[in-house]
Amino acid sequence: MGFSLTDADRAFAEWVEVRAAELASSGSPQAPPGRVDRGLLRRLAGAGLLSALFPGAAGADGPPREAPATRICLLRERLARVDTHAETALALQGLGTYPILQSGTDEQRRRWIPAAASGTAVAAFALTEPGAGSDAAALALAASPHGDGWRLHGEKTWISNAPDADFYTVFARTTPDTRSRGVTAFLVPADRPGLSGTPLEMLSPHALGHLVLDGVPVGPDDVIGSPDQGFPVAMRTLDLFRPSVGAFAVGMADAALAAARAHTRDRHAFGGPLDRLQTVSHTLAEMATRTEAARLLVYSAAQEYDSGGDAVTVRSAMAKLFATETAQYVVDAAVQLHGARALERGHLLEHLYREVRAPRVYEGASEVQRQIIARHF
């Protein structure tokens, strides 16, 4: 299956590139590494980039609704080419909020979607646990019946925007020993008693943290979707966002490829420009071909989602798998072509080398994507 961008999509992509460049050149101060950058979220909203994730959130053209998968991919790819910090802030806000946008009640949407779209409230997607990562159905965080609601007991870890978020989509086990059939999604405001957390120091300084839920009270009004039906809530969000993880990877690969092209053209060795050497030119050709193939898979998956096709899950898995593995190859090859200078702290490729590793793990590791793909053939 191929894909083609409409004139409106191409205009949108060009608009994102202009806004992203303006944002990157603003020189605004950043939050400490590993913490939520609220100023950046407000600037993303002010530039219209964050609000593009939430059409209708301002109330001007109907109720809030999903952005097309193609638009989310264009947002993430074009942002990643210029500023991975801004890209990640936007993506984490979307991931934390979309379960509410897709499956929440009208009241939940009214309360949180406009605040998330304006950057005044920070969202988090709390699925992973110390003992449940790739095997997401093995969740152990317990929702124990209490009155007409539940109390949440357990831990979550490697959670986006924790512990600084204003609200969390928390997935908890309401029925023991039922794997994915006994999980419920809850909307948990950060000020609920019993909820605490600490930031984690990661390879790349993203806002990730560990959460402890010690009897956190939740009620029927906090359920996202239906009791015991939280796993489909999570999977619906991940099916939409997995192609866009691939788009993020394609954006990083594009940035690394551009840097490698410029360096090998300008750098002279062995009597001429580096790119005149066959081994170098062939490496650049391989980098460019893999990047373009990844882009085709990403937008094919996005188009499958937008058209309501029945192959969304497998195409999303293919897109995420191939694009993230490709980006790892392309960034590594660009570092090799640059040599030691690319490993100096502050170099673009040193930054990308740290950034590119995580997407092969989160939202389903590469091995999990292969398993999903294998089940469909």
The two tokens of residue 130 are 């110390």
Tell me how far apart the alpha carbons of residues 176 and 134 are, in angstroms, rounded to a whole number.
19
Q: Is 123 in contact with 185 (CB distance < 8 Å)? A: no
Strands 167-173 and 123-126: parallel
Q: Would you call 363 a catalytic residue per the annotation?
A: yes
Handedness of CA 28, 113, 80, 160 (dihedral sign): positive
From residue 121, how far is each of 40, 63, 135, 226, 355 by CA, in Å?
12, 18, 30, 24, 25
Tell me how far apart the alpha carbons of residues 37 and 29 are, in angstroms, rounded to a whole number. 9
Reading the block at residue 39, the tokens are 């100023």
Check 107, 129, 363, 367 and give the catalytic one: 363
- Element spanning 45, H or E: helix 38-46
Residue 318 to residue 246: CA distance in whole angstroms: 9
CA distance linking residue 60 with residue 35, whole number of Å:
32
Residues marked active site are found at 363
